[in-house]
């Protein structure tokens, strides 16, 4: 028979372990929102599935055909930026392009560093405005004509969802003809993971 002191010590350890497990479980939960589940840690929603999906896609993607351009110097993107500024006037006139990715059409043979060339291809444009939420837009360009695809416009925050998962999936669902490499290589700016800005 175990001494009473040893039994009491075991009980105390067991009670401490049960209290720790109960406390840990009280901090965890699940929440169904929109079309997916979120893990709740201490009442704060965390998009574990979205983060895992984005990390997997980041590790497996091939971005060799996608070119990240300097928004200030990309002559090839002038028509794409002008299409964005003309998309929702007058508020869209204040567009400040923060990130610009370009996927040249393989048939066009154009190169974005040659300002004399007239490109054909696709752009993802990330921009901020004075009086609109930040956006990611898909722009299709054929020669000198560029068009913002109305179904390929993400506007505002992705909270509580992982921005890469939410925006890439949204754009690929809405514009299935867009190049998969361009969408998988889209790296949303941090502004899409922040609360909405006061307008």
Mean pLDDT of 58-73: 93
Whether residue 126 is predicted with pLDDT greater than 70 in this model: the reply is: yes
Whether residue 136 is predicted with pLDDT greater than 90 in this model: the reply is: yes
d(CA 9, CA 15): 10
Residue spans of alpha helices (H) in 28-125: 48-60, 78-85
- Pick the residue with more confidence: 91 or 45? 91
Q: What is the 3-state secondary structure (H, E, C) of 136-160?
A: EEEEEEECCEEEEEEEEEEECCCCC
Please provide the average confidence, as pLDDT, over all residues in the chain.
85
In this prediction, residue 25 carries a pLDDT of 52
d(CA 178, CA 144): 19
Mean pLDDT of 48-57: 92
- Pick the residue with more confidence: 90 or 29? 90
pLDDT tens, position by position, 14-37: 766 766 666 655 556 777 777 777
Question: Which of 42-46, 47-51, 61-65, 182-186 shows the lowest mean pLDDT across its residues?
Answer: 42-46
d(CA 66, CA 13): 58
H or E element that contains 39: strand 36-41
Whether residue 109 is predicted with pLDDT greater than 70 in this model: the reply is: no
Mean pLDDT of 75-86: 92
Whether residue 128 is predicted with pLDDT greater than 90 in this model: the reply is: yes
Give the confidence band of 174 by pLDDT, cuts at 50, 70, 90. Answer: very high
Whether residue 149 is predicted with pLDDT greater than 70 in this model: the reply is: yes
In this prediction, residue 115 carries a pLDDT of 47
- Pick the residue with more confidence: 121 or 11? 121
- Pick the residue with more confidence: 118 or 87? 87
- Pick the residue with more confidence: 146 or 112? 146
């Amino acid at each position: 028979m175990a001494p009473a002191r040893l039994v009491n010590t075991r009980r105390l350890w067991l009670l401490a372990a049960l209290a720790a497990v109960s406390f840990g479980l009280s901090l965890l939960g699940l929440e169904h929102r929109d079309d997916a589940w979120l893990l709740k840690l201490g009442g704060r929603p965390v998009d574990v599935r979205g983060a895992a999906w984005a990390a997997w896609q980041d590790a497996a993607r091939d971005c060799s055909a996608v070119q990240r351009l300097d928004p200030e110097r990309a002559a090839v993107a002038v028509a794409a930026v002008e299409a964005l500024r003309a998309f929702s006037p007058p508020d869209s006139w204040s567009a400040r392009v923060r990130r610009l990715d370009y996927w040249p059409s393989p048939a066009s043979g154009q190169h974005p560093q040659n300002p004399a060339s007239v490109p054909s291809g696709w752009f993802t444009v990330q921009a901020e405005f004075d009086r609109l939420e930040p956006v990611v837009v898909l722009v299709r360009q054929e020669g000198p004509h560029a068009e913002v695809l109305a179904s390929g416009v993400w506007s505002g925050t992705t909270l509580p969802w992982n921005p890469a998962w939410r925006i890439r999936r949204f754009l690929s669902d809405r514009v299935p003809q867009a190049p998969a490499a361009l969408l998988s290589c889209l790296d949303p700016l941090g502004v899409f993971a922040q609360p909405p800005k006061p307008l």
